[in-house]
Amino acid sequence: MVKNLIDSALHFQMESNFKRIKAGKQLDINKRPYNADFINKMIKHFEDMEEYEKCKILLSFREKMTDHESNYLTSNK
């Protein structure tokens, strides 16, 4: 019973953050930028659920987020 509750809360958190990322928001609900560790946890969660399209979107977001060269070039324009 408690495990199901925890699993449901985790899934809700992952889904709500995924929706924010898919909508193009780079900050979480608390106005903090997503970090690679959290994105990796999201990818693992959706891999376990076999939701590979979500994994693909998250991988793309993570790559864009950690691409320092393009982030630097676009922030200095």
pTM score, two decimals?
0.80
> By the 8 A CB rule, do 13 and 6 touch?
no
Beta-bridged to residue 33, according to DSSP, are: 27
DSSP, res 29: T
Q: Where are the domains of the chain?
A: 33-66
Q: What is the pLDDT of residues 16-42, one digit of tens each?
A: 999 999 999 999 999 999 999 999 999
What whole-number distance in Å separates Cα of residue 27 and Cα of residue 41? Answer: 16
Buried b (16+ CB within 10 A) or exposed e, 7-32: eeeeeebbeebbeebeeeeeebeeee
